[in-house]
Amino acid sequence: MFKITAKTILFISLIGLISACVTNIAGRKQVMLVSESSAIQASKQAYVNTLSPLEKAGKLNNDAKLVKRINRITDKLIQQAVAKRPDSRQWEWSVKVIDEPEVINAWCMAGGKMAIYTGLINKLSATDDEIAQVMGHEISHALANHSAERMSIAMANNLALSLLKSSTEASDQSMSLAAAAAQIALTLPNSRKSESEADILGIELAAKAGFNPNAAVTLWQKMAQAGGNGGPEFMSTHPSPENRQQALKKLIPQMMPLYKAANKNK
């Protein structure tokens, strides 16, 4: 007689998450193990799991001036993200500044859960325009459903399953697995295609928000200069081919009218 175990229920629940081929905002078809709504729910838990130990360790930056600066930049980007994808208005957008002076990194989970590290801001002497390019790029990954795509890879490769061997509750397993996959997805490299999509969407969001498109090039120049032997953590999850700066330069003439229009009445 077939025995229904917690693992069996978990497997069935995961199969139930499989969605049909979907087309993202960039026009590319994606085959998903995880739906975007499931990715957003899992990312809420993963965001808490990621930030809680940092908060306990005093690693969440509370410098009022810096937090205000980052919020001002990301608020403008969020406005453009919502204009691009009206359904994202329902997302619970949030950004935190993580006080890690040596970490050059930033990310955005599914559903608009963001973070930027002080190392990126200070070690790169990043301007507002450059920070907007970073965060616009990261927001674009969420808009284009790349987070769910990476979560699907994490689940498909069972990267998170070993974390749950001691769990006995199937429902807890399912949610914990999804949250673990959401956290692991942050460390997985994006495909070159995903990076190209985020570059194009990100520079557009930033230009429409009133940030100089030329900063997309200066940002990556600074990233390369900060590389040293290992390279910034940001570049480890964002593969940067040699022609990337050239590709961004080619986009600038298309973006300058958007940038000028955004600043016309200022």
Active site amino acids: 138
Q: What's the start-to-end Cα distance of the chain, in Å?
A: 73
Distance of CA 196 to the CA centre of its chain: 14
Cβ pair 101, 229 in contact under 8 A: no
Distance, in Å, from the CA atom of 152 to the CA atom of 18, rounded to the nearest integer, reads 9
Closest CA to 192 of 149, 239, 151: 239
| Tokens standing for residue 57 | 């360790």
Distance, in Å, from the CA atom of 28 to the CA atom of 206, rounded to the nearest integer, reads 22
Distance, in Å, from the CA atom of 233 to the CA atom of 224, rounded to the nearest integer, reads 12
Kindly state the DSSP code that residue 162 receives in the 8-state scheme. Answer: G
Cβ pair 153, 184 in contact under 8 A: no
Distance, in Å, from the CA atom of 131 to the CA atom of 211, rounded to the nearest integer, reads 9
Distance, in Å, from the CA atom of 133 to the CA atom of 128, rounded to the nearest integer, reads 9
C-alpha R_g of the chain: 19
